[in-house]
A = this chain, B = another copy of it.
Amino acid sequence: MKGGIRLVEGGVCAAKGFRAAGVPARIKYEGRRDVALIVADAPCAAAAVFTTNAVAAAPVVYDRAAVKGGRIQAILANSGCANACTGEAGRRDAERSAIETARTLGIDPGLVLVASTGVIGHRLPMDRLLDGMRCAAAALAASPEAALDANRAVMTTDTKPKQAAAQVRIGGRTVTVGGMCKGSGMIEPNMATMLGFITTDAAISPTMLRRALRRAIAVSFNHVVVDGDESTNDSVFLLASGVAGNARISAPGRDMDLFTEALTAVGVALAKQMAADGEGATKFVSVTVKGARTPRDAERAARAIAKSPLAKTSWFGKDPNWGRVLAAAGYSGAAVDDRRAEVFYGRTWAYRKGRVADAAQLEWLARELEGPELSVTVDLHLGEHSATIYTCDLSLDYVHINADYTT
């Protein structure tokens, strides 16, 4: 990988200085891990990005204030209940769970963040949550198994855990970035029901850490689209322990660029896993728009295609319906001229400047649409700019899952 970035095994315990745990606490279901704890050996430089939804869940409201100081040591997370639309009472629940976590860990309450995912509109079962938090605190470990347990504890409709880690040499030291996330439904740009937890042992200032996170998210988490819905709880957390021993990154430069690249590699790896695990997905689809007049045109055209129910159902149906793809680009607001545009499935063209695939071509296209991975590319031939969005198809199971999931 470029910049000497190396993807490695592991999640939130890949970087030095972090322990994790995930335990069952009956938040919503019996015998399912639903409370996770991520704890650093000492206070960390911290950054976070949250949902842009005007209806922000209580934990998001709490964390926005708590993370401002730029130093965090622990994150308590639960699935099964989103603690959203729960009014003032919900906000008090979020604050109390942070305070109780701090007391259990023997640290300052200001060093704890909280995250919730699950059903909207229900109060947190505080007794169960706090009992679970205490069990998790007792189970904390720096092992890959502990990281995986924590990952499992934040899953909702996810069918599999999602972890990624990368290493890079910075100033002669090996810096590790590792993370985990949950998210499969209701996913859209700007953090929709998606929780990301990333840890690193890099030594870096909170300011540089915030900047690196924003840059990484812009091309990873924010480029995942499943159904275009955006949630009330989404958050991505990044903690840096500094124990890698590199010269502290406190200004732009080569070290900052290397760190941001490693962070981006982890973010993209997690983003692809979320898209591939989209609710009911039978296909991971990467949509690339190139030859756009502006960067904004490239992104909104790719986004419109990735969100189009008609395009998504055609991928599910293995139908090279390039007309729907081009039509979506057309209504995205991007400059599009169908007499110049080309549409490719994999490396096979379906539409080329007014020319349409013939029978022979359609056979090749059918093959491109067979597998579990599909790349759809639209070349607008109007400029230099391109963008890629990670998404999936829209299947019968998506409707099953979301028609049956009860409030």
User: Which residues in window 174-232 of A have CB below 8 A to B?
Assistant: 185-186, 188, 190, 192, 227-232
Contact of A227 among B229, B309, B321, B407 (CB under 8 A): B309
Q: Which residues of B contact A360 (CB under 8 A)?
A: none
Q: Does A320 interact with chain B (Cβ within 8 Å)? A: yes
Q: Does A52 interact with chain B (Cβ within 8 Å)? A: yes
- Quick check: B407 and A323 within 8 Å, CB to CB? yes
Q: Which residue of B lies closest to A227 (CB)?
A: B309
Encode contact with B along A311-340: 1 for CB under 8 Å, 0 otherwise: 001101101111110111111011111110
CA distance A56 to B333 in the complex (A): 13
Encode contact with B along A371-407: 1 for CB under 8 Å, 0 otherwise: 0000000000000000000000011101110111111
Q: Which residues of B contact A317 (CB under 8 A)?
A: 402-405
CA distance A192 to B99 in the complex (A): 52
- Quick check: B402 and A310 within 8 Å, CB to CB? yes
Residues of chain A touching chain B, judged by Cβ–Cβ distance below 8 Å, are 52-56, 82, 84-89, 119-122, 185-186, 188, 190, 192, 227-232, 307-310, 313-314, 316-317, 319-324, 326-331, 333-339, 341, 351, 353-356, 394-396, 398-400, 402-407
Contact of A322 among B121, B186, B329 (CB under 8 A): B121
- Quick check: A310 and B186 within 8 Å, CB to CB? yes
- Quick check: B330 and A229 within 8 Å, CB to CB? no
Q: Which residues of B contact A338 (CB under 8 A)?
A: 55, 84-85, 87
A55-B326 in contact given A88-B339, A89-B354, A308-B229 (Cβ < 8 Å): yes
- Quick check: A85 and B323 within 8 Å, CB to CB? yes
CA distance A320 to B407 in the complex (A): 7
A85-B319 in contact given A230-B327, A308-B229 (Cβ < 8 Å): no
CA distance A395 to B400 in the complex (A): 9
Copies in the complex: 2
Q: Which residues of B contact A308 (CB under 8 A)?
A: 228-229
CA distance A402 to B308 in the complex (A): 12
Q: Which residue of B lies closest to A394 (CB)?
A: B399
Contact of A402 among B307, B309, B398 (CB under 8 A): B309
Q: Which residues of B contact A54 (CB under 8 A)?
A: 329-331, 333-337
A87-B316 in contact given A121-B323, A121-B351, A326-B120 (Cβ < 8 Å): no
CA distance A230 to B317 in the complex (A): 20
CA distance A54 to B330 in the complex (A): 5
Report 20 cross-chain contacts, Cβ distance below 8 Å, ordered by A residue: A53-B331, A54-B331, A55-B326, A55-B336, A82-B323, A84-B338, A85-B326, A85-B351, A86-B354, A190-B331, A229-B308, A229-B327, A230-B327, A230-B331, A232-B327, A316-B403, A319-B405, A320-B407, A321-B406, A321-B407
Known: A84-B323, A317-B405. 17 other contacts (CB 8 A): A53-B330, A53-B331, A54-B334, A54-B337, A85-B323, A85-B326, A87-B354, A88-B339, A120-B323, A120-B324, A185-B310, A186-B310, A230-B327, A313-B403, A319-B403, A398-B399, A399-B399
CA distance A314 to B398 in the complex (A): 11
Contact of A121 among B337, B356, B407 (CB under 8 A): B356
Q: Which residues of B contact A85 (CB under 8 A)?
A: 323, 326, 338, 351, 354, 356
The 6 closest A-B pairs by CB, nearest first: A120-B323, A87-B354, A317-B403, A55-B330, A230-B331, A313-B402
